[in-house]
Structure 1
């Protein structure tokens, strides 16, 4: 049976998930989890959570899925040892350095690859399996067909999301929160800039959508797979995951209960069906409207909640009248509304009006507790509304109370039935035995030796009354067998104590069973192929056209990084790679070839054909951006491999992993500070590169805003407006974030500011950095030539440039620039 995996950001949410039928829970401690703003669990609470869940045969997966600094490595080791000893069933990780430390520190603790690893192909799954991972959480951008293919050939368990909030960016690939606000999603502190308003503008800065769309162009709807649960199960998925560690326990309770019923209905084999009440419950508890994301195709704008980025609730009626003097609204209901509920009116002017129902009258003016669909009701609201305004219920008091009952009483809701046997005889201790359905037997004996009864001998009725009092334990009596030899007396307190011992003994047996672990597969790190060492280069200029490559080389670049994605939405042919190779060789420059940041199974053949073609014009190195491409290039070629920045080299452990895996160089994460970079460089086992100039990619997305709202994507073939002009997203502060659409129809959101470290160009080599990388795909040829020449000149300046030299540098780099995280770091 498929695992139902639920989130828990608090003790209450944990209980809610378990009591409503989750098979496993994922949660985090107070560090290293990708939801740092959830309540989370300290160590004592983690131990208690694991004990609570394991008694009920529910697994606990702990998220350790942030990127980690070198200073955090020792606390991380200690934390991993604690998790292993406390009985955690698995840890989820994103950072390859964290995976390496986990292998060394707790070799038998199962490793799950977080969705933050952006695994979108079977190649990535197989690579992680070879590294000792026992489960992979797939990227949320995959279709059912792709998931089915991966599950059919995967050597490990596959986990997919089935409900909750969606990221518009491939998870683990987002720098937007980090670059805009200094709060890193990769460090668990995403500020969700995707939920803010943006305007789509053309090259002239003109709004190209107007009222055709809302303002929340990067805000997806929430994922709901309630209608495709059979498809996901039949695809071979091992675990279905609910997103929501930041959500309240009532949300967890409701969503888990609904999907538990759906999954059980499927396995019952009596025909899969979802009731309207179940749909309404899912929508009522929280929704931004729902989507199946990419499971059934590419939905375009139908995937987006562009009119509202937060909970919209459930439509339950429209305004039919408003009394301006009394401020009483009359509503014709299309759904239930009761006392304690909260509603939002979507008014035509001024946004929305919110009211909590404290009193309710029907069409005849009589006080009522609730109204049903078809009824007309009236109640007070604080602000004016108009006829036909829509009314949404955003808080359902009855639903919330129902959810709360499953976690707030302190007593178990889902109990484990046990058969109880009691034996009592004169001259013997009384014995209580509890037996569960799995054959576990817990026994407790009295210290008291049974005596002949003088007045009231033990009877089955007396024993039943005492042993059925299982209180807050997880058990309930389903049957009782009493073996009473003669007229015997045992004090009630002694019977109670024997019952308590039996409960403890059964607890211990159930805990022992679930905490037994299989040995984790040994990772295969070492690369056996002798790979060449790339020639050194001061500057590596990343370009996607031959004209840009020629401009960079003519200006003095001693390295070109060519290809990968095209910012001009066109396929880069093998002949272009060959011509770039020839140009670099003629200039005596290093030539590296790039691969795409995101590759699905359907796109991998294209990459494989390119790699095969490269044999005729071998690059100095091939750059890879994800674990799948790293494994593919390692498997199919003997080229030098360079781990580019989106593979996230953030600590020495990751660099050591990459070295063992056969990588010859790495571009450091742009979220590192200059101080952290210097420290890393001192002990790095690999030559290092830093990005010093250009518009950094803040997001890479399978959703395209121009194709969705201008090109008809999702309604038919996209008309590709991206080939007829350039577009940008404008935020509330009028900052412009240019958009680039590549040959795979991925949208790349670029930073509004250009990263420039030109005033510090002369310091990188002394800091131990071999190569400076210029991201030039978004630049014109003249700009590339000017920037390369400027960096060449700046490198010759002293580490503390003279005032005139600094003035010249500032003139060259322009005004709209940023130093990124080199000096401010991230939270």
Structure 2
């Protein structure tokens, strides 16, 4: 059976998940989890949570899915040892450095590859399987056909998202939160800039959508796969993940129970389910409207909740009248409501009016506590609304109370059946045995010697009644058998004591299989794995330029660039030909410059097959390196004889990651743009590989399978896009007036670029002294003249002293202008 995997951001949410039918729960401790703002669990609570789950046969997966700094590695190793000894069933990992540490420090602790690893092709799955991962969580952009093909060929388990919030960007590839607000999604502190309003403008600055769309152009609807669970099961998925560690426990309760019932119906455990009620419950507990994401097709604009970025609730009626004198509103109901519900009125002017439902009166003016669909009710409303305004319930008092009853009552809801047998023979001790279906057994013999009754002997009914009182234990009596002498008597207190002891012994027996021996007891405590220290470092740095046209490549070479990075993603929807790669190579080599061929950031199955063939051609040409952006591309590049460089999107944030990349055959690493200069210097001082840093250009903040242009201008949801991206430039403008360029690659992925140009010009000379061998200008969004200017000035500044002269500073200011940023080089990230 497929695993139902539920989120828990608090102890109540954990209880809600387990009691409502989760097979496994994922949660985080206070360290290294990708939801740093959830309540999460300290170490004592983690131990308790793991035992609580294991006693009920539920697995616990711990998220260790953030990128980790070098100064945190010792703490990470200690945390991983703790998780192993506490009995965690698996850890979810994003950072390759964390994976390397885990394999060394806790080699027997299973690792799952987080969706933050951006695994979107079979090659990525195979690569991670080779590294020792036992499960891979696929990117949420995958189609059912792609998932089915991967599952068919995967040597490890595949996990997919089934319900909850969606990221608009490929997970693990978003820099928007950190670049705008300094809070890194890769560090678990995403500020959700995608849920903010934006305006789509053209080159002239004109709004191209107007009233045809809302302003929340990057805010996806919530995933809901309740109707296509059979297809996901048939695809071969091992685990269905519900998103929601930031959600309240009532949300967890309702969503988990709804999916549990539907899965049980599919597997024949339950005979039927009410699909309409399932939809109602899921919509009521929280929704931004629903989508199946990219599982069935490209939904285009139907992926977005562009009118509202938060809970829209459930439509329950429309306004029929507003009485100004009594300040009461009259509503014709299309759904049942209850006193205590919270309602939103969607008014045409002024946004929304919210109220709690109190003082309800029916059509005859009688006070009531609820209203039924089809009836008209009235209730107080201080703010004015108009006839026909829609009314949505955003808080269902009855549903919330039902949800709370599953995790606030103390006694378990989800119980484990036990078979009980009791033997009571006169002159002998009383013996009680408990057995569960998984083979656990507890036998307890009383100190009390069974006596002959003077008056009323004990009956089988009394024995069963007392031994079935399992109260707050996780057990419930299924089958009962008794061997009882006719005139035997057993005091109730003896039976109660036997029942309690048998339950405790059974708990222990059922937890035994999860116990792990302390690492210190076995002498298996290992320190951090060592990293190589590179020798023969270059004393100076080279300047390389990433370009996406032959003309730009020539401009960079002519201006004096030491190397060219060519290909990969074009910002003009261009498909690079083999001739273009060959032309760039020949021109650069004519002037004795290095040439690195770039791969796309995203390589879905069809594109991956073409890229594998292209890499074979690059090998014939003789490129200096191949740049790869994800673990799947790295796996593909390893099959060639070409040297491989990891780009910034295959995140190198610490020394352990760089060492891991070296062990995977990488010859150079591009450092993460979320590192500050101090961190860069620390890594460069002892890095096992040559390093590259991006020092100029517009950083990519997002890469997305969703395209705002194709969705709202090109009607991609109809099946064919009219390619508005080919008809001029577009930007997304935020509330502060910042403009973020929107561009598309050849595979129709949308790339959102930073509103400001990253420039480290006045600090260009510092990198070589730190030990960084290459500085990169990202020229993909620059024209030929801008590339010439940037190469010329950076070459000069790389030779200057750190203290600029007045003339040099004036030259720097003149070049940079006003709209530039130092990125994270001085502020770092949280």
The residue aligned with 2:811 is 808
Distance 1:558 1:319 in 2: 69
The residue aligned with 1:686 is 689
| 1:620 counterpart = 2:624 | yes
Q: Which of 735, 750, 754 is 1:732 aligned to?
A: 735
Give yes or no for contact 1:667–1:690 (8 Å, CA) kept in 2. yes
The SS at the match of 2:717 is: coil
| Equivalent residue runs for 1:501-512 within 5 Å | 501-512=501-512
| 1:587 counterpart = 2:598 | no
- Give per-residue Cα distances to partners, 1:615-642, cap 9 Å, x unaligned: 331111000000000010002x111100
Give yes or no for contact 1:444–1:500 (8 Å, CA) kept in 2. no
TM-aligned CA distance change 1:717 to 1:273, over 3 Å: farther
Distance 2:539 2:75 in 1: 38
The residue aligned with 1:358 is 358
The SS at the match of 1:714 is: helix
The SS at the match of 2:641 is: coil
Q: Which of 647, 651, 667 is 2:650 aligned to?
A: 647
| 1:611 counterpart = 2:590 | no
| Equivalent residue runs for 1:420-459 within 5 Å | 420-454=420-454, 457-459=457-459
The answer to which of 177-186 and 376-385 deviates more is: 376-385
| Equivalent residue runs for 1:694-713 within 5 Å | 694-713=697-716
Shift of residue 336, structure 1, vs aligned partner? 1.2
- Give per-residue Cα distances to partners, 1:669-726, cap 9 Å, x unaligned: 0000100111111111000111111100000000000111111111131010111100
Give yes or no for contact 1:740–1:747 (8 Å, CA) kept in 2. yes
Distance 2:428 2:95 in 1: 60
| 1:634 counterpart = 2:638 | yes
Distance 2:60 2:265 in 1: 25
| Equivalent residue runs for 1:650-665 within 5 Å | 650-665=653-668
Shift of residue 609, structure 1, vs aligned partner? 2.1
| 1:777 counterpart = 2:777 | no
The SS at the match of 1:423 is: strand
Give yes or no for contact 2:450–2:489 (8 Å, CA) kept in 1. yes
Give yes or no for contact 1:225–1:292 (8 Å, CA) kept in 2. yes
Distance 2:684 2:485 in 1: 80
CA RMSD of aligned residues (A): 1.8
The residue aligned with 2:801 is 798
| 1:548 counterpart = 2:552 | yes
| 1:789 counterpart = 2:792 | yes
- Give per-residue Cα distances to partners, 1:413-457, cap 9 Å, x unaligned: 111121111123344332211111233211222233445555555
Give yes or no for contact 2:540–2:768 (8 Å, CA) kept in 1. no
Shift of residue 230, structure 1, vs aligned partner? 0.8
Distance 2:379 2:795 in 1: 72
TM-aligned CA distance change 1:272 to 1:291, over 3 Å: farther
Shift of residue 75, structure 1, vs aligned partner? 1.0
Distance 2:631 2:483 in 1: 64
Aligned pairs, number: 812
Shift of residue 539, structure 1, vs aligned partner? 1.0
The answer to which of 78-87 and 503-512 deviates more is: 503-512
Shift of residue 363, structure 1, vs aligned partner? 1.3
The residue aligned with 1:499 is 499
The residue aligned with 1:520 is none
Shift of residue 537, structure 1, vs aligned partner? 6.1
Distance 1:318 1:156 in 2: 51
The SS at the match of 2:315 is: strand
The residue aligned with 1:101 is 101
Distance 2:817 2:272 in 1: 62
Give yes or no for contact 1:3–1:238 (8 Å, CA) kept in 2. yes
The residue aligned with 1:268 is 268
Distance 1:634 1:197 in 2: 42
Distance 1:462 1:350 in 2: 67
The residue aligned with 1:205 is 205
Give yes or no for contact 2:647–2:670 (8 Å, CA) kept in 1. yes
Give yes or no for contact 1:450–1:490 (8 Å, CA) kept in 2. yes
The residue aligned with 1:375 is 375
Distance 2:95 2:474 in 1: 38
The residue aligned with 1:405 is 405
The residue aligned with 1:571 is 575
Distance 1:777 1:312 in 2: 40
Q: Which runs of 5+ in 1 are unaligned?
A: 518-524, 526-532
| 1:9 counterpart = 2:3 | no
The residue aligned with 1:826 is 829
Distance 2:258 2:478 in 1: 27
The residue aligned with 1:522 is none
- Give per-residue Cα distances to partners, 1:176-199, cap 9 Å, x unaligned: 000000000000000000000000
The residue aligned with 1:717 is 720
| 1:83 counterpart = 2:83 | yes
Distance 1:343 1:120 in 2: 41
The SS at the match of 1:565 is: coil
The residue aligned with 2:303 is 303
Shift of residue 536, structure 1, vs aligned partner? 9.1
The SS at the match of 1:431 is: strand
Distance 1:390 1:421 in 2: 61
Distance 2:438 2:570 in 1: 58
Distance 1:131 1:534 in 2: 32
Shift of residue 588, structure 1, vs aligned partner? 1.0
Give yes or no for contact 2:420–2:481 (8 Å, CA) kept in 1. yes
The residue aligned with 1:521 is none
Shift of residue 503, structure 1, vs aligned partner? 0.9
Give yes or no for contact 1:119–1:125 (8 Å, CA) kept in 2. yes
Shift of residue 507, structure 1, vs aligned partner? 1.4
Q: TM-score, normalised by structure 2?
A: 0.96
Q: Which runs of 5+ in 2 are unaligned?
A: 518-528, 530-536
Distance 2:682 2:597 in 1: 29
| Equivalent residue runs for 1:339-358 within 5 Å | 339-358=339-358
Distance 1:351 1:686 in 2: 55
Give yes or no for contact 1:227–1:274 (8 Å, CA) kept in 2. no
The residue aligned with 2:566 is 562
Shift of residue 203, structure 1, vs aligned partner? 0.6
The SS at the match of 1:353 is: strand
Distance 2:418 2:293 in 1: 44
Give yes or no for contact 2:539–2:769 (8 Å, CA) kept in 1. no
The answer to which of 600-609 and 387-396 deviates more is: 600-609
Distance 1:775 1:342 in 2: 51
Give yes or no for contact 1:226–1:274 (8 Å, CA) kept in 2. no
Shift of residue 804, structure 1, vs aligned partner? 2.5
Give yes or no for contact 2:541–2:768 (8 Å, CA) kept in 1. no
The SS at the match of 1:67 is: coil
Give yes or no for contact 2:598–2:627 (8 Å, CA) kept in 1. yes
| Equivalent residue runs for 1:200-239 within 5 Å | 200-239=200-239
Shift of residue 458, structure 1, vs aligned partner? 3.9
The residue aligned with 1:71 is 71
Distance 1:287 1:75 in 2: 38
The residue aligned with 1:528 is none
Distance 1:37 1:98 in 2: 21
Distance 2:107 2:65 in 1: 18
- Give per-residue Cα distances to partners, 1:461-519, cap 9 Å, x unaligned: 443343222111001112322223464555543432322221122112222345689xx
